[in-house]
């Protein structure tokens, strides 16, 4: 993982170090375990991990497990796996927000005793009504002036389960006329009876994120709480919690623009909907923007972080072209992926002047961009297969592949001439008979004639059947934020996001490939052997790069 270049966050940190704010840097990544991480999460991971690394600091993984109704150990395990696969192991340790529940409760008692928090009986709708608007101040809750003793008693009884879910909240007493809506006496505890994946049934009250998160940061010694821009208006509340609880060492919250990608939905709620309604093949469906989906498709940690790095760190909203992500993996695999032959839509070709039972081997490059990759021997026999798209009975202009009475080069081997076409009862071409120029093996003919076309092929004796999964964008709309109000994400699902090609042929040497191994299938694109299904290859990206070069 390359070191992160300087950005406005590092400018802030440099100034903090110069001013004596801290002599060490400690960051964290705080995912809620209510779904799988996605490409947007990768940006937050990269910024926090690389910032800590740059300043020789520490990086924590802390699960924000304060909402038990949506959380699951499946998500806890997947987050840890993804983080380590990305190469961002938590150097500062792994923590759980729920392990701080006792401290959060203790600090809530402190706020009540100091007259800075109160128990409120307003319903959610009533609280919204009392909150006011962006142009009008809110009004005080009728329960705002309860005595400290009454608040302590009610909060204790909330903890003991004496009241129904949602019937009471504990609210911070700040300012109902504040221009920042988040400061208008926000709720910091709610009653919720739900089994917690880690704490079991110990608690029936749970702290809200805006209250729990700054406490967790302060207790862990986090110096810079780096988060996405939607939390910018929450920063005053973050600072209020830290100040009023009285932490000596106070973390700083700073915000950056989240990662938005064309043709991509980042909503975990909607991604879960796709999974639960069997509209995709699980969270790791290669069309999904999840880290595990990208991994299964064949993307690498280096390509993902390269993409995030090129997208940049800024405060302004922007949307990044998904073709940049494709460019990053294509650029990497062009240098590293072994080349192999795959005939996706095979049609048999018989070399009629080639002796039956004869076998020859032609050396072909494993990767022309890698001098150390060497060569392999490609078997040649009387019967071979070519791709159906490489033959035209009535060719269009400038078609230089196989055609009646035309010559074409078999890649790395002989020049052949099409002499006869065999069709079935429906008029479909099922077999092509050719003759080979047996003096032209892997070289131009001696008589000087020029052969313009070269096609790939595979020997019938060197071919195994596989399934190809060819993926396209999951959505048809470039900017999912532009969906009209009367439409939903479902209206823009791409019906052609997956094309399954069965009975494709690949070289037999691929029988030893492991799940996750990546190859360039010559003239087809880059493919990854699937980790879920046997004899299946997922298309990572095509050969053609349309991303503009600068």
Q: Catalytic residue numbers? A: 32, 258, 268
Which backbone phi and psi does 322 adopt, to 5 degrees?
Answer: -60, -20
Please say whether the beta carbons of 231 and 260 come within 8 A.
Answer: no
Counts of helices then strands in the chain (DSSP H, E): 12, 25
Could you tell me which residues come within 8 angstroms of residue 11 by beta carbon, excluding any fewer than 6 positions away? none
In angstroms, rounded to a whole number, what is the distance separating the alpha carbons of residues 71 and 200? 12
Question: Strand pairing of 58-63 and 93-96?
Answer: parallel
In 64-163 the beta strands, taken as DSSP E runs, fall at 93-96, 117-120
In angstroms, rounded to a whole number, what is the distance separating the alpha carbons of residues 420 and 432? 6
> Half-sphere exposure of 525 toward its Cβ, with a 13 Å CA cutoff?
20
CA dihedral 437, 441, 444, 447 (to 10 degrees): -40
In angstroms, rounded to a whole number, what is the distance separating the alpha carbons of residues 146 and 161? 20
Please say whether the beta carbons of 289 and 39 come within 8 A.
Answer: yes
Residue whose structure tokens are 């038990």: 68
Tokens, residue 329:
């993996």
- How many C-beta neighbours within 10 Å does residue 548 have? 9
> Half-sphere exposure of 42 toward its Cβ, with a 13 Å CA cutoff?
33
> For the stretch 478-492, what's the b/e string if a residue is b when 16 or more beta carbons lie within 10 angstroms of its beta carbon?
eebeeeeeeeebeeb
Angle at which helix 209-220 crosses helix 235-245, to 10 degrees, equals 60
In angstroms, rounded to a whole number, what is the distance separating the alpha carbons of residues 330 and 310? 15
Please say whether the beta carbons of 216 and 97 come within 8 A.
Answer: yes
Q: In sequence order, what DSSP letters do the residues of 428-482 get, joined into one string?
A: -EEEEEEEEETT-TTS--TT------EE-EEEGGGEEEEEEEEE--SBS-S-GGG
């Amino acid at each position: 993982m390359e070191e992160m270049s300087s950005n406005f966050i590092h400018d802030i940190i440099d100034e903090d170090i110069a001013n004596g704010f801290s002599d060490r840097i400690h960051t964290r990544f705080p995912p809620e375990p209510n779904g799988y991480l996605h490409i947007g999460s990768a940006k937050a991971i990269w910024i926090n991990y690389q910032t800590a690394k740059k300043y020789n600091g520490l990086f924590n993984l802390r699960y924000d497990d304060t909402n038990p109704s949506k959380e699951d150990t499946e998500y806890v395990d997947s987050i840890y796996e993804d983080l380590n696969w990305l190469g961002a192991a938590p150097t500062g340790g792994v923590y759980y927000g729920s392990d701080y529940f006792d401290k959060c409760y203790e600090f809530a008692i402190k706020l009540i005793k100091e007259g800075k928090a109160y128990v409120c009986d307003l319903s959610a709708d009533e609280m919204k009504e009392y909150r006011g608007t962006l142009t009008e101040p809110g009004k005080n809750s009728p329960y705002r002036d309860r005595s400290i003793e009454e608040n302590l008693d009610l909060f204790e009884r909330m903890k003991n389960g004496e009241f129904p879910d949602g019937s009471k909240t504990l609210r911070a007493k700040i300012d109902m006329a504040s221009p920042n809506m988040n400061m208008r006496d926000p709720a910091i505890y709610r009653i919720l009876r739900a089994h917690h994946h880690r704490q079991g049934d110990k608690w029936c009250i749970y702290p809200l994120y805006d209250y729990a998160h700054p406490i967790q940061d302060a207790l862990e010694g986090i110096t810079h709480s780096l988060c996405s821009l939607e939390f910018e208006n929450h920063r005053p509340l973050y600072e209020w919690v830290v100040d009023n609880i009285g932490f000596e060492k106070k973390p700083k919250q700073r915000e950056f623009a989240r990662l938005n990608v064309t043709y991509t939905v980042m909503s975990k709620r909607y991604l879960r909907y796709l999974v639960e309604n069997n509209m995709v093949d699980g969270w790791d469906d290669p069309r999904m923007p999840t880290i595990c989906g990208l991994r299964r498709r064949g993307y690498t940690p280096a390509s993902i972080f390269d993409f995030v790095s090129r997208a940049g760190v800024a405060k302004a909203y922007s949307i990044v072209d998904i073709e940049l992500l494709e460019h990053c993996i294509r650029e990497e695999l062009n240098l590293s992926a072994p080349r192999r032959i795959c005939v996706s839509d095979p049609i048999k070709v018989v070399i009629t002047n080639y002796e039956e039972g004869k076998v020859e081997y032609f050396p072909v490059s494993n990767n022309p961009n890698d001098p150390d990759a060497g060569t392999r021997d490609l078997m040649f026999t009387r019967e071979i297969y070519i791709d159906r798209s490489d033959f035209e009975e009535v060719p269009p202009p400038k078609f230089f592949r196989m055609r009646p009475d035309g010559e074409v080069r078999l890649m790395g081997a002989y020049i052949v001439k099409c002499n006869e076409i065999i069709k079935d009862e429906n008029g479909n071409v099922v077999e092509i008979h050719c003759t080979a120029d047996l003096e032209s093996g892997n070289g131009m003919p001696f008589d000087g004639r020029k052969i313009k076309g070269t096609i790939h092929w595979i020997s019938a004796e060197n071919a195994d059947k596989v399934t190809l999964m060819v993926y396209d964008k999951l959505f048809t709309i470039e900017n999912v934020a532009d969906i009209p109000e009367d439409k939903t994400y479902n209206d823009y699902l791409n019906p052609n996001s997956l094309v399954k090609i069965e009975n494709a042929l690949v070289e037999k040497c691929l029988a030893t490939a492991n799940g996750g191994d990546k190859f360039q299938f010559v003239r087809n694109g880059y493919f990854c052997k699937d980790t879920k299904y046997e004899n299946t290859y997922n298309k990572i990206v095509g050969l053609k790069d349309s991303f503009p070069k600068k």
